[in-house]
Amino acid sequence: MSKIKVLRIITRMNVGGPARQAALLSSELGKKDFDCVLLTGSLSESEGDMSYIAAENGIKPIVIPDIGREMSFLNDISAFFKIYNIIRKERPQIVHTHTAKAGSIGRLVAKMCGVPVIIHTFHGHVFHSYFSPLKTNFFLTIERLLASLTDKIVTISEKQKDEIKQYLRLRTDSKLALIPLGFDLHKFLTDKDESALQRELNISKDALVIGIVGRLTAIKDHATFLKAAKEIKARNTGKVIKFVIVGGGELKDSLMKLTADLGLKDDVIFTDWRRDIDALYRVMDIAALTSLNEGTPVSVIEALASARPVVVMDVGGVRDIVEDGKSGFIVPSGDIRAFTEAVTVLINDKDKREKFGIYGREYICRKHSKERLINSIMDLYYSELKRKKVI
């Protein structure tokens, strides 16, 4: 029996969960009954590049620079016809798209080419907190039309599944498949001494480190993290506290200015994107998330796998990976006072930090292993192929 051809399309291989998933799925499924082709677009200047993840997984993507994050009529039309030619050449039985732009163009082309099975994964969504009401309604209209062309819509958390069903006005769950993210967590499960990295970052051995990982963009709301940092510092806990912001993005300059305006210049460290992300989690004592909207936050999964307690805002699929009072604290979105209180509790209670960390690591290893992800995606593919009488 010949292998089943899968064309996986992702808008860009920028730092984040979607790129990790696309590379992992292409690599692991390629070891089984599937012949996988990964197609990706280009990065913007402010984004961290994660294309090395594909290389580490033995994947060489086909790059179409015209597929970009921003809307561009000429580029989108060019990308449409380039994807069309690739589909006609590869003749996949499955087209699986990830992220919005790839999902829009990829699903339209796949339908035009008569691809038997069309699948799209929502890693997050832009249906609130990203754009103006007018622009949001435009994207909603497009996504509702695309849903009619899609055989299965994959969501990555229970809450996201409910939101997508509501926003796309789906009457039943028949088009929806809930498949949580999965990762190769091995490097996060290793406990190593990171004294050299602490010295590099100018963090003293006695300092307690609170870190946040994510793109420096409005939706991640690092401003709230910094305002909370000022409140935490003002509490005079008697400990040396450092705040580490890992990531890059268009708001870096404004966030550095805010840091100075808040009087935190000596307390906050910006690291940009780094490949040794596992080491950075090991330097942290507490990991944070202050986003306004999320799908399933990969940074929280990685922090928990690293046995670090978390303090997170109650958005998106956070409650699917964090158990409040067991692996961390969940506070209302945008509530700086509640966030500060939760962090302060962990600062003052080392035993609780360790207990939360152990519990969180065990929970994440059960729910978010790469083996569970691969098995779930394979089951979905076979189910849809059989339903469409392809196999």
**Cα separation, 84 vs 109, whole angstroms:** 6
Q: Is the distance from CB of 305 to CB of 167 less than 8 angstroms?
A: no
Q: Are residues 124 and 25 in the same domain?
A: yes
Structure tokens at 79: 């990308």
> How many domains is the chain partitioned into structurally?
2
Q: 144 and 174 share a domain?
A: yes
Same domain, 205 and 145: no
> Does residue 152 sit in helix, strand or coil?
strand
Q: How far apart are CA 257 and CA 271, in angstroms?
A: 15
For residues 11 and 156, membership in a common domain is answered with: yes
Residues 165 and 310 in one domain: no
The domain that holds 86 is classified in CATH as 3.40.50.2000
Q: Indicate if 140 and 207 belong to the same structural domain.
A: no
Q: What is the pLDDT of residues 379-390, one digit of tens each?
A: 999 999 999 999
Domain coverage including residue 206: 186-367
pLDDT tens readout for residues 10-27? 999 988 889 999 999 999
Asked if residue 379 and residue 248 are part of one domain, the reply reads no
Q: What is the pLDDT along the chain (391 residues), one digit of tens a residue?
A: 689 999 999 999 988 889 999 999 999 999 999 999 999 998 877 677 888 889 888 999 999 999 987 778 899 999 999 999 999 999 999 999 999 999 999 999 999 999 999 999 999 776 665 667 788 788 899 999 999 999 999 999 888 899 999 999 999 999 999 999 999 999 999 889 999 999 999 999 999 999 999 999 999 999 999 999 999 999 988 899 999 999 999 999 999 999 999 999 999 999 998 989 999 999 999 999 999 988 889 999 999 999 999 999 999 889 999 999 999 999 999 999 999 999 999 999 999 999 999 999 999 999 999 999 999 999 999 999 999 999 9
72 shares its domain with 87: yes
The candidate with the shortest Cα–Cα distance to 70, out of 53, 47, 50, is 47
**Are 200 and 299 within one domain?**
yes
